[in-house]
Structure 1
Amino acid sequence: MTSGRIQAISDVAAALLSAEVEIGSAFARQWWRDNQDTGELESETHSARDVVQRCAHSLMADVIADVDISDLSGPGQRFAEAGLSATTVLDWFRGLESTITDFVLGLDEIDLHIVRQTHSRVSAFFDASSSSELQNFENTFDELGTWYSAVANDMVAYLTSGAAVDEGSVNRQSRKLGLDPRLPYRAIAIRADSGISAHRWALIRHRLVTVVTRLNSQPNPLVQERKGLLLALISPATSNAELVQMLESLLDDPELKRTLYVGTGETVDCLADAGRSCRQALSALEIGMFREQQGKVTQCTDVILEVLLTHNHWVSHRLIDSRLGPLVGKPNIIETLRAYIDCNMSLQRTAEEIFVHPNTVAYRLRQITKLTGRDMRNVSDLADLSVALAALDVIKMYGNTGAESTNLHSAILAGADARID
């Protein structure tokens, strides 16, 4: 490049520097009018002026790579923090590049060759700058994702722990996460069969989070996760029937139907009360697992008695002792009683259900009456025995299976900080 052209480009750079306040402020005002969700006008102006200055210096550098853009005050970090897309970063840079190009074209007595060379150097600068800011955007986005996940985990653990909840702390923390704590919330607990590989769980988890996010009326659900176990808190965007239908549609997949158990809690009035729904969902999930109900949604309202008994083992033991007594050690008798109740007191259907002769059913029912004093034709007596059977299930669920597969409340809290600041 001749000394004359170098001087001409330096003159363009000097003109750009002298007009950086005007150019940066005008661009920032226009951008802010059209994109007010990207931040404050002052921040936009500061970023735009800094980029204009760096662009002017790049015109005077021997090569664009000599221009330091490591501490550029671009919008990448701000846009990531505002939850905007990477495309917005590119739009911002291309918009400012166009503004600077228009300024150069408007200069008096500028040679066409100088315009071309200036435009080439401006384009090269903006290519490098936008790439750098996209990296800043990505780094900030990743950091925010890690932070959000950690804070969401602590929030769910805090609510689920059963400790007294400070509503003020919940409200403050939820607003940091962009959540409205005054909305209704509901918990969904999902468990995969034991032995699932980490890779397979990662694939299933992605599908689960996608569905849970669709069910949520807010941008992100609160999720607490352990390998093979996921507990999500959502503010329902649909009715209960639609929510259950969407979960069941997910379970229509043959592989997921064989692999997943799902439990749901009741909808509560606000986030501070959501711990109750979390504990209900985990209890419903445990009951579904105990009953081997893969591929089904177990709602806590459908197993409300078992859920209540899950949280009061003393009552469960008393019900078993006072209602079932000596039947507990007789598995065939217990099986017959369950089937008889499920089959609406029909001897024939009960016999078909457990593959025995109707006379065998009749004999066992007489044994039940003899041992418990309960009339097998009396609805009230059968209701009492049904409650006792539910209590027996709860005790067996915790006593006869490993903690890894049933004590989901402990599993979801393992390693979590059940406190929030």
Structure 2
Amino acid sequence: MPDSVSRPAASPASPAPAHPHAATLKRLEHSSGRLAARAIQRMDETLPWYRAMPPEHRSWIGLVAQAGIAAFTEWFRHPEAPQAISTDVFGTAPRELTRAVTLRQTVEMVRTTIEVMESAIDDVAAPGDEAVLREALLRYAREIAFATAQVYAQAAEARGAWDARLESLVVNAVLSGEADEGTVSRAAALGWNAPEYVCVLLGTAPDGDSELTVEAIRRAARHAKLQVLTGVLGSRLVVIAGGSDNPLAVAKSLIGPYAAGPVVAGPVVPDLLAATRSAAAAAAGLRASAAWQDAPRPVLADDLLPERAMASDPAARDQLVEEIYRPLQEAGSALLETLSVYLEQASSLEGAARMLFVHPNTVRYRLRRVTDVTGWSPSDVRSAFTLRIALILGRLAAAEQRS
């Protein structure tokens, strides 16, 4: 019979080391429920916003207070172990709590709970452990303060990312001409208060972080007391601005963050749904701006009407015909004839008067009437160019109508 193999006897499991302040830990565990109830009672007595809250929100705060005290007990049991305070304490309440309770209110809630725990140290701590428990509470209060800041910072980042996506959807819908009531609702969720006057600005976005550009636009808008929805779409910086009936003044107040190059302001429209027209005009103006090398910066989309018309913008062509040619046509053939001769033949009052067989004062009077009717002065070089393009387009439209 083979010799039996001898094996060492299994040693019994060594017991866990006793806590150096076991008596205080045990008393703290037994007092957790009472401390949480006292903290909630203190909040009800001293915090008016807590009393005004609906029962559901108060119950969430009660859960957070209980979790905070329980987390402190665990902290006292293992002071050196890494612990996720934010998860242990604030994980008991739903994410909506950060919207229902402000950061200031949360700080007041945490302060009240810590004060209740601090006032109970002499009762909870075993004889001789008062200083130890007080020091542990101070360290825990520091950690809970950092945890509170972390929770609200994460919530703010999540809301900021969501708001940025929502704002991008609104800006893209306006720029693409697809704005609808859903777009208005999204804008309202971003704080857009439906201002009376709205215009769209377009220009080149600067290189670098687009978030910094957007924030710079918002700072400039706050300084100018304007509402804005903005975003960087590709290489373009788009701003939907509300609150002013002067698009050129709006563009000048917000032009700082734009990169070098033309910045075009669309016409003022009454609301966000109509902003698609302003955006279309601004986009057409930005495409055609290369044709006017001496254009001011910023420039109105309406000041680029002749370039836009030559760049095949049907809206610009219609606007030139409807706002210049048709009114002149309705004012009488004498105005059209005089303007045509002045712009295309003579380029002077005396020359036009000789060709028309009238006195130069008659030509001068008719040209003033042209200015009154159209808003464009034939004596100004730029306005004369616009009037000449309008005459050409009007004649083409009339020919098409006859045919």
Q: TM-score, normalised by structure 1?
A: 0.59
Structure 1 position 117 matched with structure 2 position 132: yes
5+ unaligned residues in a row in structure 1: which ranges?
324-335, 348-361, 370-374, 395-421
Secondary structure of the 1:45 match is helix
Point out the more displaced range, 70-79 or 96-105: 70-79
* SS of residue in 1 equivalent to 2:203: strand
Alignment of 1:17-96 (within 5 A): 17-24=33-40, 26-27=42-43, 30-31=46-47, 33=49, 40-61=57-78, 63=80, 65=82, 69-73=86-90, 78=96, 81=99, 92-96=109-113
Partner of 1:402: none
| Aligned-partner Cα distance in 2 for 1:392–1:200 | 46
Measure, in 1, the Cα distance between the counterparts of 2:266 and 2:124.
71
Residues 15-59 of structure 1, C-alpha deviations (whole Å, 9 max, x = no match): 133331331353377446289899944433332332222223323
How many angstroms apart in 1 are the aligned matches of 2:307 and 2:110? 57
SS class of match (2:170): helix
Within a 5 Å distance, the mapping from 1:361-376 to structure 2 comes to: none
- Residue 229 of structure 2 is matched in structure 1 by 222
Following the alignment from structure 2 to structure 1, what is the Cα–Cα distance between the partners of residues 304 and 52?
49
Distance (Å, rounded) in 1 between the aligned partners of 2:102 and 2:307: 42
Q: Name the aligned partner's letter for residue 261 of structure 1.
A: V
Do the aligned residues in 2 keep the contact of 1:152 with 1:222 (CA within 8 Å)?
yes
1:312 maps to which of 311, 315, 322: 315
Q: Does residue 11 of the first structure (1) align with residue 15 of the second (2)?
A: no
Write the letter of the residue equivalent to 2:237. L
Using a 3 Å threshold, how does the CA distance of structure 1 residues 145 and 123 change in structure 2: closer, same or farther? same
CA distance in 2, matches of 1:76, 1:392: 67
2:160 is matched with: 145
- The aligned counterpart of 2:277 is 276
* Aligned-partner Cα distance in 1 for 2:94–2:19: 37
Q: Structure 2 matches for 1:184-223, cutoff 5 A? A: 184-192=196-204, 198-199=207-208, 205-215=214-224, 221-223=228-230
Map of 1:266 onto structure 2: 268
Contact 2:68/2:88 (CA < 8 Å) preserved in 1?
A: no
3-state SS of 1:278 partner: helix
Alignment CA distance shift 1:23-1:203 (3 Å): closer
Higher relative contact order (CA 8 A, sep 6+): 1
The CA RMSD over aligned residues, in Å, is 5.1
Instruction: Give me the identity figure in percent.
Output: 11
The structure with the larger Rg is 2
1:179 corresponds to: 192
Residues 205-260 of structure 1 show CA distances to partners (whole Å, capped at 9, x for unaligned) of 54333213444566xx3223224422222332xx445x754643565x7x979545
| Cα deviation 1:340-390 (Å, max 9, x = unaligned) | 98xxx589xxxxxxxxxxxxxx7xx99x99xxxxx9875278869755545
Instruction: After TM superposition, give the deviation of residue 11 of structure 1 in Å.
Output: 1.0
What are structure 2's unaligned runs of at least 5 residues? 1-16, 327-341, 357-361, 371-376, 394-403
SS of residue paired to 1:70: helix
What is the count of residue pairs matched by the alignment? 337
Q: Could you tell me whether the CA contact under 8 Å between 2:85 and 2:147 is conserved in 1?
A: no
- 1:250-261 matches, cutoff 5 A: 259=261, 261=263
Shift in alpha-carbon separation, 1:282–1:128, aligned structure 2, 3 A: same
Query: Aligned partners of 2:238 and 2:343: how far apart in 1?
Result: 35
Change (3 A) 1:234 1:3: same
In 2: Cα distance, 1:36 partner to 1:265 partner = 47
Q: Secondary structure at the match of 2:268?
A: coil
Gap change, CA 1:89 and 1:392, over 3 Å in 2: farther
